[in-house]
Structure 1
Amino acid sequence: MDRRSVYGPRDSTVLSQQAQHRSDDIPDGDLDAVLISRRADGTFWSYFNQNNMSERVQEILHQIGFYGVYRCGRLQLNQHLITALVERWRSETHTFHFRVGEATITLQDVQIIWALPIDGEPVTGIDFDRTTQQWQEYCLTYIGFSPDANVLKGSRLQTSAITSHLSAVEITYNTPQAVVVQYARAVALLLFGGLMCPDSSAQKAKRQLVERCNCYR
């Protein structure tokens, strides 16, 4: 007997998007298909879980508003729960629809969890085109190293290159303040581009974020 004749809807005309719904996998026996969340923070936490971050760097992260994100550490994701929540998600209203009611994640929720500043002017800007050499010089100025051309892909910078730079620099009480600031900017870039807003590859951070990391001077 055709499994779809048993598990499928009797009248498919009312389910216009059935082919895109997870329940369409049931007749094929694929009951454990889960969504995979994008994240590019694995190497970051692998390093800092074994090496304590300098208090001088932590102080700068606190001043620019990213210390709460760092303190939360590497989050363990429940992929099955996330998959179930996506089924209840309505993108038009940014709301989860449950049997017991509705739930919406607000900016205040994010602020409470990560202790992010949400008051004041928004962080915006224009992504200017630059040559590879210009981006290398920009990175050297603001985050302390000039990445190789092969880790600069289009408008993105590989997060592994940033992590490698951080692991090669030792911050002590005698380290010049300018170097500490550059180091903290690189950490903030990884937290923002690798954890909070990773790109579709989960391996690169947008280079325009480098410009946003110059808020602390």
Structure 2
Amino acid sequence: MDRRAVYGPRDGTVLSQQSQHRSDEILDGDIDEVLQAKRADGKFWKNLREQDLPIRVQQILHQIGFYGVYRCGRIQYDCHLITALVERWRSETHSFHFRVGEATITLQDVQIIWGLPIDGEPVSGTDLERTSVQWQEYCMQYIGFAPEEGELKGSRLQVKAIIHHILRVHITPDTPHLTVVQYARAVALLLLGGTMCPDSSGNLVSLLYLAKLEDIVAARNYSWGSAVLAFFIP
């Protein structure tokens, strides 16, 4: 008997991509490979363990709606569990297929875990055609520093460049409000690129998110929870 008739989908009309699915490799005996996640947030969270963010910055993160992500801290990944879940995820139905039935990630899950806003405007936009110099000027205006040209890759910025910047800046009660806001935007980018919507490169974050953070007051009007859910469910 064909093993795929036992371990694969009983009806191939719905799960039609079984031959390209990772679980099909199990039937060929390739069951020892454990997926490893690419992460770019290690140094950021390590620094936060040594010293919390300044209260003024925390207040702005709360205003944006990212405070829950900051309070949850660095999530410890169980790579074996993630591997098992990947083997049970089906893009045809956008759900995990377990022996007890189907399950999926919901918007309520994202809201409860991280407290992100789920109502409001969609987080969307288009990739802008800017030169490296224009991106450098943009970063200087909104996050307080101009990255080196080698730290930019199109509209994406190296996470380590942002980390190096925030480690150099010291926020005090006398720090100008503009500097505090720029610092908070930089931290928000790190949360987006390292935790909420991590880039597959493991070291880049899209500067397109920064357009939604230009106005700190209006930033909470975006449905960040919906954006995170859409990012994690292909």
User: For residue 131 of structure 1, what is the aligned residue in structure 2?
Assistant: 131
Q: Does 1:207 align with 2:198?
A: no
Residue aligned with 1:134, SS? helix
User: For residue 118 of structure 2, what is the aligned residue in structure 1?
Assistant: 118
Deviation sequence 1:138-180 (CA, Å, 0-9, x none): 0000001000111011221000000000000000100000000
User: For residue 57 of structure 1, what is the aligned residue in structure 2?
Assistant: 57
User: For residue 78 of structure 1, what is the aligned residue in structure 2?
Assistant: 78
Instruction: Work out whether residues 70 and 191 of structure 2, in 8 Å CA contact, stay in contact via their aligned partners in 1.
Output: yes
Instruction: Work out whether residues 128 and 155 of structure 2, in 8 Å CA contact, stay in contact via their aligned partners in 1.
Output: no
| Superposition deviation, residue 25 in structure 1 | 5.7
Instruction: Work out whether residues 96 and 103 of structure 1, in 8 Å CA contact, stay in contact via their aligned partners in 2.
Output: yes
Measure the CA separation in 1 of the matches of 2:39 and 2:184.
Answer: 20
| Superposition deviation, residue 52 in structure 1 | 1.5
Residue aligned with 1:157, SS? strand
Measure the CA separation in 1 of the matches of 2:147 and 2:211.
Answer: 15
**Consecutive unaligned residues in structure 2, runs of 5 or more:** 9-17, 218-234
Measure the CA separation in 1 of the matches of 2:168 and 2:51.
Answer: 12
What code does the residue aligned with 1:11 have? D
Q: Does 1:23 align with 2:26?
A: yes
| Superposition deviation, residue 18 in structure 1 | 7.8
TM (norm. structure 1) is 0.88
User: For residue 221 of structure 2, what is the aligned residue in structure 1?
Assistant: none
Measure the CA separation in 2 of the matches of 1:22 and 1:49.
Answer: 40
Stretches (4+) displaced over 6 A: none
> Computing the radius of gyration over CA atoms, which structure comes out larger, 1 or 2?
1
TM (norm. structure 2) is 0.82
Measure the CA separation in 2 of the matches of 1:114 and 1:214.
Answer: 22
Instruction: Work out whether residues 157 and 205 of structure 2, in 8 Å CA contact, stay in contact via their aligned partners in 1.
Output: yes
Instruction: Work out whether residues 193 and 209 of structure 1, in 8 Å CA contact, stay in contact via their aligned partners in 2.
Output: no
RMSD across aligned C-alpha pairs, in angstroms?
Answer: 1.9
What code does the residue aligned with 1:182 have? Q
When the two structures are aligned, how many residues end up with a matched partner? 205
**Consecutive unaligned residues in structure 1, runs of 5 or more:** 1-9
Change (3 A) 1:54 1:25: farther
Deviation sequence 1:19-77 (CA, Å, 0-9, x none): 95341463xxx653111123211111111111221000000000000000000000100
Instruction: Work out whether residues 3 and 27 of structure 2, in 8 Å CA contact, stay in contact via their aligned partners in 1.
Output: no
User: For residue 2 of structure 2, what is the aligned residue in structure 1?
Assistant: 11
Measure the CA separation in 1 of the matches of 2:170 and 2:98.
Answer: 49
Range with bigger deviation, 111-120 or 121-130? 121-130
Instruction: Work out whether residues 57 and 180 of structure 2, in 8 Å CA contact, stay in contact via their aligned partners in 1.
Output: yes
Residue aligned with 2:141, SS? helix
Residue aligned with 1:17, SS? helix
Range with bigger deviation, 17-26 or 97-106? 17-26
Change (3 A) 1:98 1:170: same
| Superposition deviation, residue 211 in structure 1 | 1.7
Instruction: Work out whether residues 58 and 67 of structure 2, in 8 Å CA contact, stay in contact via their aligned partners in 1.
Output: yes
